[in-house]
Amino acid sequence: MDFMKEYEKWLHSPALSPDQRQELEAIQHDPKEIESRFFGPLEFGTAGLRGVMAVGLHNMNIHVIRWATQGFADVIAAEGEAGLRRGVAICMDCRNHSMEFARAAAEVCAANGIHVRIFESLRPTPELSFAVRHYHCQAGINITASHNPKEYNGYKVYWEDGAQLPPHHADAIAKRLEQIDIFAGVRTMPYEQAVAQGLVEVLGEETDRAFMSCVTAQIIDKAAVEKVADSFKVVYTPFHGCGYKLVPEALRTLGVKHLLCEPHQMVIDGNFPTVVSPNPENPEGFALCIDLARQNDVDFILGTDPDSDRVGILVRDRQGQYRTITGNQTGVLLLDYMIGALRRTGRLPEKPVALKTIVTTEMARKVAQSNGVACYDTFTGFKFMAEKKNALEEQGQGKVIFSYEESYGYMVGDYVRDKDAVTASMLLTEMAAWYAGQGMTLLDALEALYEKYGYYAEKTYNLVMPGLDGLKDMAALMRSLRQAPPAAISGVKVVAFKDYADGTVVDCATGEKGVMELSGSNVLRFEMADGTSVIVRPSGTEPKIKVYILAQGKDARDAQDNLSKYSQWVSSLQKA
């Protein structure tokens, strides 16, 4: 694509507002910035679109939203009259322009004859997944950039099962978008006109009630909370986002009497003024919560990201310090707790199943299988977990009780097909209360699990590669590792090399090549002689390569030593 030609097309388009045109005029003498905005469109993948908000083809703005929605509308229309009638559910998070973008998507859908159900205001991502299933919609659209910095926004697309779009539909949209002119090829109509004509229906409290009845039905052992309710305290933050209403409701329904919501972060604000990053994976974002917890003698802190699909926890240790429990550790704790709680309350299904991603700790498999629960791997992303759940249950091969990935995402129940921080927050709180009744914190519980199942340690490295050059560097690094895989990493032999793109696995000692069950994703895995797995993949939502080190050892120190020795090799990748 000729980026200067595309820039000129935008600059002179009558579709631009005066402010948008002024923004483009301001960069007319900066060819590098023009190239970064117009070298090509944002790639439409199975997660939809995500990018920095700015005027440009490679950015998130109202024109890109309309264009993407036109492509999606054409795919929905291909389902025939029933697809148009079943329509689309649309949701948005707290970010700047999210409501504007959501209404723009509704206007395009309505102009294409697609019935729209749009939420009146921001809602958690899992409620959008729920709404698609609850109203039997053909599809869903969610305007969100999840836990990304404030400069970002995104466009997530869902299909009729409530999961994010399967690859063949994403490919169909991507191909359709190649044929649609971003300005002339889009049909739209005024929002108020669409509402007046009955093409747009607004969702509100009635959908919240239906969703929350499903959430609170997941409570396993309310008596455990009642037992400690007078003394058990929780601090919660929604990080200025969508969890502000329904997460506290779920916790109070659970029976939590002493719930302290961090007041500054309960304020809805897409600029996220109290944090550098609204990501519960980053402990520094919890500083205000820690202050509140110290003032009120609280052991347990809970935080959900801006669209309330991820949740992170902190726990006070015996020295009074608040320590982060990682996503891997949280998932292991919750899996072990759920198996025990479901079993003691007579609710564990006959053939229970747990799902995890290929980059999630192997400790989860050990916990599951040690308790008679089958465990399957999927690629990263809850759409793949949804596919696996649907397939297993439809074929009578088992009932999925829990699905999770290491990046703070958890899914339970049958009413959503995406990560769900509303339900997970409630169950994590139930678990913390149950352990409190045993005189234990979650840190005590985690140590007990290590002693029982073995010592595991994990670390994720993010090799950030921003800009146009970064995309090229990411592709070059993956190509280099694929074409010339290392024989050893940090002095340890590689015993097996797995390429999930074509599903091949190579025995490095014999050169013998085999085939795995999973294929079709740009992920490389090196299995080491010391039992460690090193996994490398590009992020699907941010300009970075992610490197996962999954280690184990005979004790905690040994596991950490095995983990840390690979850090130098990871650093060398950034410099390569």
How do residues 62-109 score in pLDDT, each as one tens digit? 999 999 999 999 999 999 999 999 999 999 999 999 999 999 999 999
Residue at which a domain ends, from 203, 223, 247:
203
1: in domain: no
Mean of pLDDT values over 132-145: 98
How do residues 368-381 score in pLDDT, each as one tens digit? 999 999 999 999 98
Is the domain of 346 the same as that of 442? yes
Residue type (1 letter), 158: Y
Please give the pLDDT value at position 169: 86
Q: Are 279 and 250 in contact (CB under 8 A)?
A: no
Q: Which DSSP string corresponds to 383-415? A: HHHHHHHHHHHHTTS-EEEEEEETTTEEE-SSS
Is the domain of 482 the same as that of 409? no
9: in domain: no
Among 376, 387, 393, residue whose Cα is nearest residue 418: 387
Please give the pLDDT value at position 224: 97
pTM of the model as a whole: 0.95
Residue at which a domain ends, from 426, 453, 480:
453
Q: Predicted confidence band at 45 (pLDDT cuts at 50, 70, 90)?
A: confident
What SS3 class is residue 487?
coil
Is the domain of 180 the same as that of 319? no
490: in domain: yes
User: Percent of the chain at pLDDT above 70?
Assistant: 99
Phi, psi of 457 (to 5 degrees): -145, 140
How do residues 288-312 score in pLDDT, each as one tens digit? 999 999 999 999 999 999 999 999 9
How do residues 527-556 score in pLDDT, each as one tens digit? 999 999 999 999 876 789 999 999 999 999
Please give the pLDDT value at position 294: 98
Please give the pLDDT value at position 474: 92
How do residues 440-460 score in pLDDT, each as one tens digit? 999 999 999 999 999 999 999
Which residues, at least 6 apart from 94, have a Cβ–Cβ distance to it below 8 Å? 122, 240, 241, 242, 268, 269, 270, 306, 307
Is the domain of 103 the same as that of 192? yes
Is the domain of 423 the same as that of 465? no
**Strands of 300-304's sheet in order across:** 258-261, 233-237, 300-304, 311-316, 322-325
Catalytic amino acids? Answer: 146
- Cα–Cα–Cα angle for 166, 168, 169, rounded to 5 degrees: 70
Please give the pLDDT value at position 542: 74
**Environment class of 249 (CB within 10 Å of its CB; exposed 0-12, middle 13-18, buried 19+):** middle
Q: Residue 372 maps to which CATH number?
A: 3.40.120.10
Top pLDDT among 527 and 47 is at 527
Mean of pLDDT values over 424-435: 98
The three-state (H, E, C) secondary structure of 236-289, written as one string: EECCCCCHHHHHHHHHHHHCCCEEEECCHHHCCCCCCCCCCCCCCCCHHHHHHH
Is the domain of 303 the same as that of 427? yes
29: in domain: no
**Environment class of 61 (CB within 10 Å of its CB; exposed 0-12, middle 13-18, buried 19+):** buried
Is the domain of 361 the same as that of 472? no
What SS3 class is residue 305?
coil
How do residues 466-521 score in pLDDT, each as one tens digit? 877 888 899 999 999 999 999 999 999 999 999 999 999 999 999 999 999 899 99
Is the domain of 237 the same as that of 385? yes
State the pairing for strand pair 504-507/492-499: antiparallel
Mean of pLDDT values over 561-568: 90
Please give the pLDDT value at position 108: 98
Residue type (1 letter), 171: D
488: in domain: yes
139: in domain: yes
Is the domain of 415 the same as that of 504? no
How do residues 3-22 score in pLDDT, each as one tens digit? 999 999 999 999 999 999 99
Q: Which letter does DSSP use for residue 532 in this model?
A: -
Token code pair at residue 123:
């809602």
What SS3 class is residue 376?
strand
Please give the pLDDT value at position 576: 61
Range of the domain at 87: 41-203
Q: Which letter does DSSP use for residue 21 in this model?
A: H
Q: Which letter does DSSP use for residue 166 in this model?
A: P
Q: Are 544 and 537 in contact (CB under 8 A)?
A: no
Which residues, at least 6 apart from 311, have a Cβ–Cβ distance to it below 8 Å? 280, 302, 303, 304, 305, 408, 410, 421, 424, 425, 428
Least confident of 46-50, 79-83, 191-195, 417-421: 46-50
Is the domain of 130 the same as that of 278? no
Phi, psi of 473 (to 5 degrees): -65, -40
CA–CA distance, 68 with 74 (Å, rounded to integer)? 10
Mean of pLDDT values over 311-315: 98
Q: Residue 527 maps to which CATH number?
A: 3.30.310.50
Q: Is the pLDDT of residue 47 over 80?
A: no
21: in domain: no
68: in domain: yes
Please give the pLDDT value at position 443: 97
Token code pair at residue 65:
């939203």
The three-state (H, E, C) secondary structure of 89-149, written as one string: EEEECCCCCHHHHHHHHHHHHHHCCCCEEEECCCCCHHHHHHHHHHCCCCEEEEECCCCCC
Q: Is the pLDDT of residue 166 over 90?
A: no
How do residues 242-292 score in pLDDT, each as one tens digit? 999 999 999 999 999 999 999 999 999 999 999 999 999 999 999 999 999
The three-state (H, E, C) secondary structure of 413-447, written as one string: CCCCCCCCHHHHHHHHHHHHHHHHHCCCCHHHHHH
Q: Predicted confidence band at 167 (pLDDT cuts at 50, 70, 90)?
A: confident
Q: Dihedral sign, CA of 386, 390, 396, 399?
A: positive
Q: Are 413 and 423 in contact (CB under 8 A)?
A: yes
Please give the pLDDT value at position 466: 81
Q: Is the pLDDT of residue 184 over 70?
A: yes
Phi, psi of 189 (to 5 degrees): -150, 155
Residue at which a domain ends, from 181, 203, 225:
203
Is the domain of 481 the same as that of 545? yes
Q: What value does the mean pLDDT of the chain take?
A: 96
Residue matched to tokens 């990935």: 405
Give the count of domains, the chain.
Answer: 3
Is the domain of 249 the same as that of 398? yes
Q: Are 433 and 315 in contact (CB under 8 A)?
A: no
